[in-house]
A and B are shown apart, each in its own frame.
Chain A
Amino acid sequence: MSLDKEKIKHVAKLARISVDEAKVESLTKDLNSIFKFIEQLNELNTDKVEPLTSILNQSLRSRKDDISDGKIREKILKNSPKENEEFFVVPKVVE
C-alpha cells in the first residue's frame, strides 16, 4: 500500500487534524516508510492463523444490569465549552 497526498489530506480531515500544506509532502514520505516497514509482515503466510484480537487469553468480562452510576451532572458539565446548568453547549451544529 502506498499513500498519496490526497489520501493524507483525507485521513487528516477525517481525524480532524489540521495539516499544513507545506507538511503534506514530508508526512506522505514518513507515513509511506512506516507502511513499508509494517508491510514486511505480509511476507509471512498467515492463511491458517486466526486473527488475534487480544493478547490476553480470557473472555469478555461482564457486569449485572444494575444502576450504579450517573447523577454527577455538575462534575460532567465542568468540561462543557460554555457554562450551563443542564446542558453541554456547543457551537450550532444543524443541517
Chain B
Amino acid sequence: MAANPMSQFDVYRIGPEIKVGAFDISFTNASLFMILSTVSILLIFNLGSKKNSILPNKIQLLSELSYTFVSKMISDTAGSKAKPYFAFIFSLFMFVLFCNMFGMIPYTFTVTSHIIVTFVLAAFIFIGVTVIGFIKHGFGYLKLFVPSGVPAVLLPLIVVIEIISYLSRPISLSVRLFANMMAGHTMMKVFGGFVISLGIVGGWLPLSFSVALTGLEILVAFLQAYVFAILTCIYLNDALNLHH
C-alpha cells in the first residue's frame, strides 16, 4: 500500500459519514487540510495585521509583503479597475499556496492535487469573469472573440479558435495546477520508493534525486500558486479592459 505512489492521493473519511440528502459531505483528510490551510492563513494574517508599528516585526512584514506582492501583481496585469477583486485574488493565491506548501510536508495530503478542487476554483473564476465581462460590456463582450486587424477571410476560423480557447480556460487552469501537483508528488514518492527498494547500496542516487526534487517541488508549489493567481488576473483583465 505504501509503495503505491498514488496512494498518497487517497481521500478517506475522518469520523462518521455525513449525508445531506443524496450527497456525502463527510469530513475527510482533504477537508482537514483545507481547514488547516485556511486557519493558518487567517492566523498568520491576523497576527500580521494586529499591531501597526512603524518598524514591523517579522509576521507583520510577512503579511504586508504578501499584500503588496499580490496588489502589485493585480495592478500590473489587470490595472486599477481590478481593485474590488483584490480580496478574492489574494485569498485564492494564499489558499493555493498554502495547500501546495502543506502538501510538501511528508505524510500530508495535497488538496490541490485533486482535479475536482482545482476545477471548482477554475470554474468559479471562469463563470465569475464571464459574468463580470457581460455586466461591464453587455454583448460587446463578445468582441473578445473577434480580434482586430485580422483579414476577413481568416475571421471565421479565428473566431472559432478564440471561442475554443476561451472555453478551455477553466480546464487548462485547473489541469495545470492539478497535474503539476500530482506529477511532482508522484515523482517524489517513486524516488522515495527507489531509495527503499535499492537499499543501502543503490539508494543514494535516488535519495539525492529526492532531495533535489523536494527543492524543485517547493519552487513549483509557489510557482503554480503564482501562475494560478496571475492567470486569474489576466482573465479578469480581459473582462475589465476589453481592448479588441
Same assembly: no
